[in-house]
Amino acid sequence: MKLSLILARISYLHGLINPDWVDGNPGQPGPAARLSEAAIDFLLSEQIRAISRHLRHADLGEKLHSVGKSMASESLGRLGAALDDDNGICPPYHVGPHWPHWWEWAALNPQPLPPKEVTPGATLDVLIALSLRELAGLTTNARFNDEIQVIGQEIIHASAGRIFDDYCGTKVPPRPGPRR
């Protein structure tokens, strides 16, 4: 998963959970239906488990994956109780024009492939740690909030030395000047 996709998912989840955050202005129209706390925690656990696969430190990735797994199992237990008789499982939606085959739309709107992302390993870990801090702020369970923040701090601590080595470890040769 690319870093831009991770950040886009977090931005989408932030707008889904907090309707005032949509478009960055309070009072803007938000999602059609309000999600339960169990559904929010389940969506966040899926994102946390997806992020855990991209960490350079395998032990921290496993630790983060286990937190996401326990978060998912706890939220699934609460999800059945969150559904009441008034709300259906699916939120109301607007049915747009019907395209029988997806390739017809793709033929009308060709898009070039996006450029490849090149992010150094330590920088990617720091951005993932910042993403985890954002996800921790969206959880409804204080225990998972604390666990996710602790793992994010461990990622930052483990990556600090590598960032220093990436920046200061190699000397840049001077540019040759004009010959005299």
CA-based nearest residue to 50, from 80, 72, 79, 21: 72
Q: Which of 5-19, 67-81, 139-153 is most confident?
A: 139-153
Asked whether residue 99 carries a pLDDT value surpassing 80, the answer given is no
- Tokens standing for residue 114: 């996006």
Asked whether residue 91 carries a pLDDT value surpassing 90, the answer given is no
Task: Return the exposure string of 58-75: e unless at least 16 CB atoms fall within 10 Å of the residue's CB, then b.
Answer: eebbebbbebbeebbebb
* Model pTM score: 0.67
SS3 (DSSP) at 103:
helix
What is the reported pLDDT for 150? 93
Per-residue model confidence as pLDDT tens digits over 101-145: 545 555 555 566 666 666 667 788 888 898 899 889 888 889 999
Asked whether residue 85 carries a pLDDT value surpassing 50, the answer given is no
